[in-house]
Amino acid sequence: MSDSSELLLAVDFAGTGIHPSSWRRDDSRAEELFTPRYWADLVGNADRAGVDFAFLPDTFGVVSDATTVRGRLEAVGLAARLTTATTRIGLIPTATVTHTEPFHVAKAIQTIDHTTLGRAGWEVAVTPAVVELFGRKDEQDTASLWAEAHEAAEVAARLWDSWEDDAEIRDVATGRFIDRDKVHYIDFVGEYFSVKGSSIVPRSPQGQPLVAVTVTGDESLEFAAHRADLVRIRATDLSAASERAGRIRAEAGDRRIFVLLDIDVLLGDDAAADLAQLEAWAGEPYRSDTLVHVGTSEDLIELLGDATGVDGVTLRPLALPSTLRRLVENVLPVVRPEVAPTTGTLRDRLGLPRPANRFAAAH
């Protein structure tokens, strides 16, 4: 890729920003953090400016540090609220599979795909800790966590197919709303889950909503290569990002995937001073496991133009409201001078085929 206009652009909407002290800024809007207006304003502005995806992070962990924002809105529920505040952006909440039944996740994501007319995705995540919040099982190692994630994704995919596309017949004359022969039990039995199905939700506009994952190690890389449509990676420079993207594509083989590099971003008139203030409040330097841009909008535009070897970027603002405003006002008009009208589903816009229904083929 040689032009930033070809890049997929995503934003990670994490609280008041990914820096733990970002809420202390005068422009943080921290007092609105748990209100619908805050999220509708921010994601709605990104939507209108041409951002492709809104990642909505989530975790089961509760922050114990009294100087850090404690608590968050649940991501899938938040995505559901944002369906009416957006028209084109893909809504991709994180849903952790480790202590969550895939049936519930699958129907929730499927519902958002219906209510957005095909703009839903699911970022799969695992968590090794917080077992005491659930009391159902012991702590798992990384291999076990991702083996469970594979099963959860397989269950979801089968549930998304459990209604054939033409299962709803709504035949008034006979009083039949569905063709029962076209609604299927999935009959999944694995090491971690046993799910008979079918889904309670008819097959959604994309057939299979997009699956995303952040690669943090070999196990998540293997999941990405076999299960994900959108793969988020972290690398401290563009060369390493290109190399990592190439490895993931090689693992995926003929399966089309889109690799997005996470970039931590702080934009401002004096962004270095802004970062210094955040670090002073936190009492330590800011450290990241991925590329960091602290500076001007113009320099970020240049960086995006140099981002070859990846299909897109996920911008992670250190201070969300202020950086997003500069992205919308200064960066997006340059890298997205024309925002295409809303047409089709996320799969249509990515050039991904609508998957055939596995049960229809057998039927």
Cis before 21 (ω within 30): no
Q: 103 near 159, Cβ under 8 Å?
A: yes
Q: Decide if pLDDT at 242 tops 80.
A: yes
CA distance 207 to 166: 12
Amino acid at 146: W
pLDDT band with cut points at 50, 70 and 90 for residue 2: very low
pLDDT at 240: 97
What is the pLDDT of the chain when averaged over all its residues? 92
Output the CA–CA distances (angstroms, integers) from residue 37 to 52, 101, 212, 298, in the order listed. Answer: 21, 30, 26, 29
pLDDT at 60: 72
- What's the rounded mean pLDDT across residues 322-329? 98
CA distance 327 to 90: 18
Q: Residues 34-60: pLDDT tens digits?
A: 999 999 999 999 999 999 999 999 987
Q: Residues 59-76: pLDDT tens digits?
A: 876 655 556 666 789 999
Closest Cα partner for 227 from 210, 207, 205, 250?
210
Q: Is residue 343 classed as helix, strand or coil in its secondary structure?
A: coil
pLDDT band with cut points at 50, 70 and 90 for residue 164: very high
pLDDT at 63: 56
Closest Cα partner for 212 from 70, 22, 79, 82?
79
CA angle, 348 then 90 then 12, to 5°:
140
The CA radius of gyration of the chain, in Å to the nearest whole number, is 21
pLDDT band with cut points at 50, 70 and 90 for residue 1: very low
Query: Which tokens hold the place of 71?
Result: 């608590």
Q: Decide if pLDDT at 266 tops 60.
A: yes
CA 279 to chain centre: 28
Q: Residues 268-317: pLDDT tens digits?
A: 999 999 999 999 999 999 999 999 999 999 999 999 999 999 999 999 99
pLDDT at 337: 85
Q: Decide if pLDDT at 184 tops 80.
A: yes
pLDDT band with cut points at 50, 70 and 90 for residue 163: very high
pLDDT at 65: 59
Rounded-to-5 percentages of helix, strand, coil across the chain: 40, 20, 45
β-strand pairing of 210-214 with 121-125? parallel
Residue with the larger pLDDT of the pair 323 and 168: 323
Q: Residues 169-183: pLDDT tens digits?
A: 887 888 888 888 899
Q: What is the dihedral of CA 193, 181, 111, 103, to 10 degrees?
A: -10
Residue with the larger pLDDT of the pair 4 and 72: 72
CA distance 352 to 360: 20
Residue with the larger pLDDT of the pair 133 and 177: 177
pLDDT at 343: 74
Q: 71 near 33, Cβ under 8 Å?
A: no
- What's the rounded mean pLDDT across residues 319-335? 97
Q: Decide if pLDDT at 363 tops 80.
A: no
Q: What is the dihedral of CA 116, 312, 249, 110, to 10 degrees?
A: -10
CA distance 23 to 19: 9
Q: Residues 193-239: pLDDT tens digits?
A: 999 989 999 999 999 999 999 999 999 999 999 999 999 999 999 99
Q: Is the dihedral of CA 353, 357, 362, 363 positive or negative?
A: negative
Query: Which tokens hold the place of 331?
Result: 């960066």
Any long-range contacts for 32-37 (C-beta under 8 Å, 24+ apart)? 33/69, 34/71, 34/73, 36/81
What single DSSP character describes residue 354? P
Query: Helix 36-49 crosses helix 75-82 at what angle (to 10 degrees)?
Result: 60
Residue carrying the six token digits 């250190």: 318
Q: Decide if pLDDT at 120 tops 90.
A: yes
Residues in Cβ contact with 27 at an 8 Å cutoff, skipping those fewer than 6 apart: 319, 321, 322
Output the CA–CA distances (angstroms, integers) from residue 171 to 80, 168, 177, in the order listed. Answer: 31, 9, 6
Residue carrying the six token digits 């506009």: 205
